[in-house]
């Protein structure tokens, strides 16, 4: 149950209604993470722009790698809402259940290849102990796995974005349910 008032699709008017309609057209469904921002409609637009840039723009990281890190961050933060959403998205890219289980129960050594393990470890560590990253260069392992500076930046952006969104979902009481998980365009 959300902890602040939410204007749903049926009660939206003006700019909020336009924004909701645009999201429905492009995504097929309106997520609770968007509706929870209904009191500030333009924040929904800016949020979606940032999400699309980080998760869907050209990157040396694959969509699967970005979704994988989204799940690891969300699990580390205990955000059931984002974990469920992005695990479902990840299933479009990773079909092997053993790998999906490892990612949703990170850290699980020796399941993913070295490069993807390095990304998951980086996401997990930066989420739980960000202060350690100020004095220590944890990007070295990513470089050793062949990740470019652009890929490292993109990894940091994914981790930072999901820490941001997890806090919105957790603090405002968003809970995922099975019916909300269906109907998105990926």
| pLDDT digits (tens), the chain, 186 positions | 899 999 999 999 999 999 999 999 998 999 999 999 999 999 999 999 999 999 999 999 999 999 999 999 999 999 999 999 999 999 999 999 999 999 999 998 789 999 999 999 999 999 999 999 999 999 999 999 999 999 999 999 999 999 999 999 999 999 987 666 555 555
Element (H, E) at 126: helix 114-128
Peptide bond connecting 107 to the previous residue in cis, omega within 30 degrees of 0? yes
- CB-count burial class (<10 Å; 0-12, 13-18, 19+) for 86: buried
pLDDT of residue 184: 52
Handedness of CA 94, 95, 96, 99 (dihedral sign): positive
Separation CA 156–CA 35 (nearest Å): 26
Separation CA 103–CA 45 (nearest Å): 30
- Kindly give the interhelix angle for 41-56 and 149-171, rounded to the nearest 10 degrees: 140
pLDDT of residue 167: 98
Provide the 3-class DSSP secondary structure of residue 159. helix
Domains of the chain: 9-57 (no CATH), 63-171 (1.20.1290.10)
Separation CA 88–CA 186 (nearest Å): 10
Q: Which of 69, 65, 15, 83 is nearest to 45 (CA)?
A: 15
Q: Is-above-0.85 flag for pTM?
A: yes
Separation CA 81–CA 176 (nearest Å): 5
Q: Which of 103, 93, 99 is nearest to 56 (CA)?
A: 93
pLDDT of residue 108: 86
Question: What totals of helices (H) and strands (E) does the chain contain, helices first?
Answer: 10, 0
């Amino acid at each position: 149950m959300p902890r602040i008032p939410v204007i749903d699709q049926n009660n939206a008017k003006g700019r909020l209604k336009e924004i909701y309609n645009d999201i429905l057209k492009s995504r097929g469904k309106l997520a609770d993470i968007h509706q929870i921002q209904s009191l500030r409609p333009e924040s929904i637009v800016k949020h979606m722009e940032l999400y699309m840039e980080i998760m869907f723009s050209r990157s040396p990281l694959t969509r699967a790698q970005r979704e994988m890190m989204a799940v690891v961050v969300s699990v580390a933060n205990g955000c059931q809402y984002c974990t469920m959403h992005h695990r479902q998205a990840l299933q479009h890219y990773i079909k092997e259940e053993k790998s999906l289980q490892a990612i949703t129960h990170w850290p699980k050594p020796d399941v993913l290849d070295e490069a993807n393990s390095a990304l998951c470890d980086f996401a997990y560590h930066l989420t739980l102990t960000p202060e350690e990253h100020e004095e220590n260069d944890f990007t070295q392992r990513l470089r050793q796995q062949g990740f470019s500076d652009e890929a490292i930046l993109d990894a940091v952006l994914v981790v930072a974005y999901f820490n941001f969104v997890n806090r919105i979902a957790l603090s405002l009481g968003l809970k995922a349910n099975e019916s909300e998980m269906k109907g998105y365009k990926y």
